[in-house]
A and B are shown apart, each in its own frame.
Chain A
Amino acid sequence: MITIFYFAGLREATGTDREEADLAGKTIQELSAWVNSKYPHLSLDAVRVAINEEYALSEDVLQDGDTAALIPPVSGG
């Protein structure tokens, strides 16, 4: 299983801060498609994905047990 984290506006729009999904072996691009099909109202265009706390590329592949965090545009500072 993959644990997906949602932050900030994504957390509010999905109504959850995390969920598990059976996405091992899928790419980041496929993960985004899965999230988009579950939450069609989300805009993920500017969202980056981090796997296990490191920014990932859209072709990177998820392994069982990974955490995938959806990172909307940041605004620290």
Chain B
Amino acid sequence: MKAYEIVTEPIEPQRYADYVLRPEAGAVTLFTGHVREWTRGIRTLYLAYEAYIPMAEKMLTKIGAKIEEKWPGTKTAIAHRIGELQIGEIAVVIAVSSPHRRDAYEANEYAIERIKESVPIWKKEIWEDGTEWIGDQRKKPDVSNENKGLDSE
């Protein structure tokens, strides 16, 4: 495995937790993001993710470097899966270790926020009656017709 990677196979989160664990780390936060079946009353059958792989891996690496700068003493690993994912499967894993828990929690949340904001990964929702590429879930462009109230979170 690489510390920052886009993968096509199912994610095994423990591998990323093990990767960041060190003798000086007293805390590891392990976030896994899963495919949700129900979003605001609409049922998702499955998701299809795609990525601009080389750029996405570079940006994940930069996020990790930024975390180590903002929270010294942390170590991070991030993976995002692409392709077709079924309900409940893991789309993203973020593992952060630090000497104390506070930094590990904060850095982990920072990582998922940055991923959702700018890493070139896209998901397509597949429903019983149609499909749609989902746009930015944090800042909604006025002109885009991509969201239509179907954003997650």
Using a CB–CB distance below 8 Å, which chain A residues touch chain B? Answer: 5, 7-9, 12, 43, 45-46, 50, 53-55, 69, 71-77
> Once the chains bind, are A55 and B144 in contact (CB under 8 Å)?
no
A53-B54, A53-B55 as given contacts; A75 in contact with B135, CB under 8 Å = yes
Chain A residue numbers with a CB within 8 Å of B52 are: 5, 7, 50, 53, 69, 71
Minimal Cβ-Cβ distance residue in A for B92:
A77
Chain B residue numbers with a CB within 8 Å of A53 are: 52, 54-55, 58
Using a CB–CB distance below 8 Å, which chain B residues touch chain A? Answer: 33, 49-52, 54-56, 58, 80, 91-92, 112, 115-124, 133-137, 141, 143-146
Q: A72 CA to B120 CA in the complex, in Å?
A: 8
Give A40 Cβ to nearest chain B Cβ, in Å: 15
Chain B residue numbers with a CB within 8 Å of A50 are: 52, 55, 120
Chain B residue numbers with a CB within 8 Å of A43 are: 143-145
> Once the chains bind, are A76 and B122 in contact (CB under 8 Å)?
yes
Could you list some 6 contacts between A and B, CB below 8 A?
Answer: A7-B50, A9-B146, A53-B54, A73-B141, A74-B122, A74-B136
Tell me which of A45, A69, A73 has the highest count of chain B C-beta atoms within 10 A of its own C-beta.
A73
> Once the chains bind, are B80 and A76 in contact (CB under 8 Å)?
yes
Minimal Cβ-Cβ distance residue in B for A9:
B133
Chain A residue numbers with a CB within 8 Å of B123 are: 75-76
